[in-house]
Structure 1
Amino acid sequence: MTMKTLNYFLFIGAVSLAVACGPGANNSEESATDRLEITENQMDNMESETDTAEQTAMAVLSGASGSEVSGTATFTQTAEGKVKLVLSVNNLSTGKHAVHLHENGDCSAEDASSAGGHWNPADDEHGKRGENEFHAGDIDNLTVGEDGIGSLVMVVDGWSIGDGEDSDILNKAVIIHAEADDFTSQPSGAAGSRVACGVIQEST
């Protein structure tokens, strides 16, 4: 092979390599940029969804005063700024039982006395929610069937979750009492002993 022929083939090879790699490299760079932009958009969407996610909290209820009550209370901040409570219990005696939020998130005492009194930051009289004066922690009576199961759903105005204000329900205790609340007797509606207790904690 002559030197001229060798140079010709080298030239053709170099041109072919440039044609193959040039556009391919550019396309790869554009594709990578597109992928980066998509990823950033997805991240922005995820952050936006996180910012608008509902605030939620939960209390796991356990028996107190020798009872075997169990259950859960879930709390969800609504778009209207209220809090939806969904309470479900098992192994509770048939009939009506008072439910309150108490000031201390502490269920360590056997009779749940460690939870303190009703949550009442405004120092109001005890009563029925929505009628005259009532404590921030006043809720309602829970009705339990013969199977020992009861549930209560309420949307409460004046509560919040995790904002550190006087309306914040976190680290309060959900207390279920042995008797119904008469909504009149001070300071707690003559509801009897505390048969279940659970601390409200932010859901993760």
Structure 2
Amino acid sequence: MKKNQLLYIALPAFLLGACAIENPKKMEIDMKNDTGDSLGKVILQEKSDGVEVDLKLEGLPPGEHGIHFHEKGTCKRPDFVSAGNHFNPDDKKHGLMHPEGAHAGDLPNLIVEGDGSVKAKLMAPLVTLTKGKTSLFTKDGTSLVITENKDDGMTQPAGDSGARIACAEIAQEKEKK
């Protein structure tokens, strides 16, 4: 009888090892430039008021830059157009200052230091890492993209922020067997 009980306990644990991590609370993504070099890591963490975006990057042009979540989890160099448009599951207007906005993917601008580094924590209140319409874990994944210029917070469809200069793919990880 004890052998059967052990089998019933071990079986569900084995099955769990082959499944996707359903609701990660925290994940790390690698931000890359247009030549494929890593600029550093971004940590996404589920909080009670959205997803915290913790950036520690180097090698960016100094100044103010737009940063947005995009609708596809593909970062094909050199222009990152493969990332698609801004993540916008609620079909809102673009811009944190727009009265009919903002896209779920809209974030405050980044300020990059003169040495090309940035350390910042941003809050994305309109997205989640859990299941649902605003989850960053879509069927096609999503991405985080940095642009060459600042986002003006109003101009449609993307804030007049210029070319895409860096990208990180966001996809749900599978647990290792």
User: One fold, TM greater than 0.5?
Assistant: yes
Is residue 108 of structure 1 aligned with residue 73 of structure 2? no
Determine the structure 2 residue equivalent to 1:199.
169
Residue 124 of structure 1: which of 92, 97, 121 is its match? 92
Q: What is the distance in 1 between the residues matched to 2:136 and 2:97?
A: 16
- How many residues matched? 150
Matched position secondary structure for 2:82: helix
Q: Answer with 1 or 2: which has the greater Rg.
A: 1
Matched position secondary structure for 2:103: coil
Contact 1:129/1:139, CA 8 A, preserved across alignment = no
Q: What is the distance in 2 between the residues matched to 1:143 and 1:129?
A: 18
Determine the structure 2 residue equivalent to 1:77.
46
Determine the structure 2 residue equivalent to 1:22.
none
Structure 2, unpaired ranges of 5+: 1-22
Share of identical aligned residues, percent? 28
Determine the structure 1 residue equivalent to 2:31.
61
The one-letter code of the counterpart of 2:83 is A
Displacement of 1:172: 0.8
Q: What is the distance in 2 between the residues matched to 1:187 and 1:201?
A: 24
Is residue 87 of structure 1 aligned with residue 87 of structure 2? no
Q: What is the distance in 2 between the residues matched to 1:106 and 1:129?
A: 28
Identify which range, 120-129 or 94-103, moves more after superposition: 120-129
Higher relative helix content: 1
Q: What is the distance in 2 between the residues matched to 1:149 and 1:166?
A: 33
Contact 1:142/1:151, CA 8 A, preserved across alignment = no
Structure 1, unpaired ranges of 5+: 1-52
How well do the aligned residues superpose, as a CA RMSD in angstroms?
A: 2.4
Displacement of 1:68: 5.4
TM-score, normalising length: structure 2: 0.75
Identify which range, 166-175 or 151-160, moves more after superposition: 151-160
